[in-house]
Chains A and B, each alone.
Chain A
């Protein structure tokens, strides 16, 4: 399993924001979605997921609401706030610059 430290610092935040930009999700579903979309490459551990969620909530980028889950249990659903949406845009742009820069270095150096 990939450990959070394996992810580039701040990348997990970006992944979470990107994933819940589609629809409100609870923690479990966020982890699953990241896993599926990355073809099982990225597995987010609970040890980093939940602190990250709580930190993002404190920052005001996401907000939480309790609702019934698909199997009819109470689950905490996270949604992007307006500030979160803005943050997602800037984080995405930054990530793309960084990724492009890294691949440049990796290919040409």
Chain B
């Protein structure tokens, strides 16, 4: 017979036990009746016939039992018995059970919690068809770490030359100002070439996508709405295609609606508009400031695409001076999006796995002690004929019952932990994740696997130990542990040393991360974050003069708001994650010679910026009202710039030509202090400040320094802007303190989580030490009594009980410190301002643990020294 049928029958016997039983009953009853009839036919009275039949059958229940055996139910019944027995045993020692289940629940819960994040962020693929073929392309500048955005010229060349891709799309994300019944609003917009939807493998939910013509230069007043924005702004109107979306300059025709859940990179756009590239002059729309997404052809690997792009890049580098030294960076999109979340999640996974191992070791220790106490019971069972296999099986089943209970409780904890982490970490753990964090079936399977594995890890050793009983020996020794306990004791000592060492490793890690966090909080950013409020302004399609005038008027109005001390603008705020790289020539160098352009960051600001951000002017002057569009070009550089390019020399009055913005000669009129523009841990880089009033941009951010509470001024500042232009859209206000706070979320979370788990590990290890010493003291009460009676001092007894605990702790500490030192490379990427070998962290971790361990070991040792000799000698 096919195994499937067999399986079905077995399952039927197992799962539909009641029905099978009923049928068996009916079948045997039928037989009994026929037998009775036969006897009646032979002349017996009905009652006698029945009795005779029953006698012949030899008892219905016995027959049923035999049939059940034939069905192979015996094993299942035995298992059920073992489980029942295990549960009864656990109920009888509530202290042990509580500690064991709690340890396991916390271990499993922590692992499941972190796994839900790992699953959602790292394991689940992007929700697009063939998402493994989605890639992101960026440029790799010469002589620098990292990557930069893509130049439109290079995009055109890539699209023309590369054969690896089914489609390539170029994208930029300037905001879009829209006007509706509730006034103006700045929405998230993706400006894109026509292929974007093909790259992501999705079609529009309604209407159509852009045509190739709409990617050509020209005035294409068309828009595709984001799904969410369509719901919000148009109430999900099914006939929205063909309607118009009002913008300050007029209106755009709605040609389609994007599918729900589409995210370009991480951005869920409210609107999509065409990005026309003029093949004759691609840099008219900008330079290296675009994102490029691609879809690989089937069966083309990322590596193959990377190799092809390396060839393309070297050809381009020969052809265009601006590409000299540049390479192309190609990465799977999912991998790229989660690149920052991955190391953190790996670290946390390692931490919680350690906690789980400690929990297992702890429970194993407890089980061993329990095994010794139950030696008598096991010996009796062995002498009554239970095989060793049967005993081991029963002990393993006990472990499985424990781990299942722990796992179930852990699942509850994990659910709470996940919700808490999602709220507390404000997305810091889900970097790059597109889908929400859920406790889904994969996670449940994970929990089940982990719980079962833990049962084997912590249960096998004690079960094996306990089952090695020699019945006569164990029965003779009775309950008082004798010499046979030595091996057990040594094993438990090893377990305690192991968990101490692991707890110390976590403590050291927590110490390093906490010290990193405290360093980060004290980082000098180069500006004063307190009292500064910011909001985004997108100036839109206005002529340059109008953009200058608008900003001037807005700044005047905002500065007049009571409580405002200074107001200015900057294109990309420090810490906002955006920067603008460019190059410059010193006056006298040959212009246009790209190989001689010196790299520098560039910031586009308005007058008063340094006052608004409280950046010190080190030399010269800030920008002021003299610096106008028609007047002499002026720039200000930061200290890093001055030091690097004019070391020891005169800076003020020197003339440079900045590549960006029509490349006019400009005079350096000031030197300002360095700002950590790209983050708390990034070193300041040479930066040149250009003036919005001379080279106006489109995207800008208002920076307002206020006296007192910055966020309270937001509404007044917004009103002032709308006094100037009611249709000017403004993004939500954010204080500089929030920007800094956002950057601290992750380091704070790492430190807090690792510290939390380390504390937990210490508690578990402390329980382990306590349990071991308390056990030994209890076992030796008799011996202690004798010693005291023979004249030992209470101090001697205390030392004798305390000594082993102290020795184990010391050994664990040494091993733990050594292991932490060996593993220090694992955390180095998360550290700032401390070295992975930071002695303070190691010393403090060791000290903290030593104090805890001494306190914990002293309790049972003290109890031992308080033993009354008379009572102890009676104790048996």
Contacts and interface: CB of A to CB of B under 8 A. Distances in A.
Interface of A: 26-28, 31, 45-47, 50-52, 54-55, 57-61, 66, 69, 73-76, 81, 83
- A-B interface, 6 closest residue pairs, ranked by CB to CB distance from nearest: A60-B1, A51-B70, A55-B70, A54-B70, A51-B66, A28-B34
A27 B24 CA distance: 11
B626 interface: no
A1 to B, nearest CB: 8
Given A47-B58, A50-B63, A75 B30 contact: yes
B71 A54 contact: yes
Interface stretch (B2-10, B211-219, B487-495): B2-10
B28 A46 contact: yes
Interface string B390-433: 00000000000000000000000000000000000000000000
B23 interface: yes
A28 B566 CA distance: 105
Contacts of A74: 26, 30
Contacts of B33: 73
B152 to A, nearest CB: 71
B37 to A, nearest CB: 8
28 contacts: A27-B27, A27-B30, A28-B31, A28-B35, A46-B28, A46-B56, A47-B58, A47-B66, A50-B27, A50-B28, A50-B31, A50-B63, A51-B66, A54-B24, A54-B67, A54-B71, A55-B70, A58-B6, A58-B9, A58-B10, A58-B71, A60-B2, A73-B30, A75-B30, A76-B26, A76-B30, A81-B1, A83-B1
Given A59-B1, A69-B30, A76 B70 contact: no
A76 B25 CA distance: 11
B67 A50 contact: yes
Contacts of A83: 1
Contacts of B24: 50, 54
Contacts, number: 70
A54 to B, nearest CB: 4
A67 to B, nearest CB: 12
B23 A76 contact: yes
B57 interface: yes
Contacts of A69: 30
Overall SS of chain A's interface: helix
Interface in B7-56: 9-10, 13, 23-24, 26-28, 30-31, 33-35, 56
Interface of B: 1-2, 5-6, 9-10, 13, 23-24, 26-28, 30-31, 33-35, 56-58, 62-63, 66-67, 69-72
Contact of B67 (A26, A31, A51, A81): A51
A73 B72 CA distance: 29
A55 B58 CA distance: 20
Contact of A26 (B9, B30, B71): B30
Most A-side CB within 10 Å, residue of B2, B33, B66, B69: B66
A31 to B, nearest CB: 8
Contacts of A28: 30-31, 34-35
Contacts of B70: 51-52, 54-55, 58
A8 B13 CA distance: 29
Contact of B9 (A46, A57, A66, A73): A57
Contact of B63 (A31, A47, A55, A61): A47
Contacts of A57: 9
Contacts of A47: 57-58, 62-63, 66
Nearest to A84: B1
Given A50-B63, A54-B67, A83-B1, 8 more contacts: A27-B27, A46-B56, A51-B66, A59-B1, A60-B6, A69-B30, A76-B26, A81-B1
Nearest to A60: B1
A31 B53 CA distance: 14
Contacts of A59: 1
Contacts of A61: 1
A43 to B, nearest CB: 10
Q: Which of B6, B24, B27 has the most CB of A within 10 A?
A: B27
Nearest to A69: B30
A50 B70 CA distance: 9
Nearest to B59: A47
A32 B28 CA distance: 15
B57 A46 contact: yes
B1 to A, nearest CB: 3
Contacts of B26: 74, 76
A78 to B, nearest CB: 10
A82 to B, nearest CB: 8
Given A52-B70, A58-B10, A27 B31 contact: yes
A66 B23 CA distance: 9
Contacts of A66: 23
A45 B58 CA distance: 9
B606 to A, nearest CB: 87
Scoring B2, B24, B34 by chain A CB atoms within 10 A of each residue's CB, the highest score goes to B34
A54 B72 CA distance: 10
Nearest to A61: B1
A75 B58 CA distance: 21
Nearest to B67: A54
B71 to A, nearest CB: 5
Given A28-B30, A28-B31, A28-B34, A58 B72 contact: yes
A60 B30 CA distance: 23
Nearest to A74: B26
A61 B1 CA distance: 7
Nearest to A48: B66
A50 B30 contact: no
B364 to A, nearest CB: 39
A81 B1 CA distance: 8
A76 B27 CA distance: 6
A60 B5 contact: yes
Nearest to A47: B58
A51 B134 CA distance: 63
B3 to A, nearest CB: 9
A51 B69 contact: yes
Contacts of A26: 27, 30
A61 B5 CA distance: 11
A46 B57 CA distance: 6
Contacts of A52: 70
B849 to A, nearest CB: 59
Contacts of A45: 58
A57 B57 CA distance: 21
B34 to A, nearest CB: 5
Contacts of B5: 60
Nearest to B13: A58
A75 B6 CA distance: 23
Contacts of A60: 1-2, 5-6, 9
A14 B30 CA distance: 24
Which of A46, A57, A60, A61 is packed against the most chain B CB atoms within 10 Å? A46
Contacts of B57: 46-47
A38 B827 CA distance: 84
A60 B9 CA distance: 9
A49 to B, nearest CB: 8
A39 to B, nearest CB: 18
Nearest to B65: A51
A90 to B, nearest CB: 15
B61 to A, nearest CB: 12
A33 B830 CA distance: 84
Nearest to A26: B30
Nearest to B32: A46
A45 B66 CA distance: 13
Given A58-B6, A58-B10, A74-B26, A50 B66 contact: yes
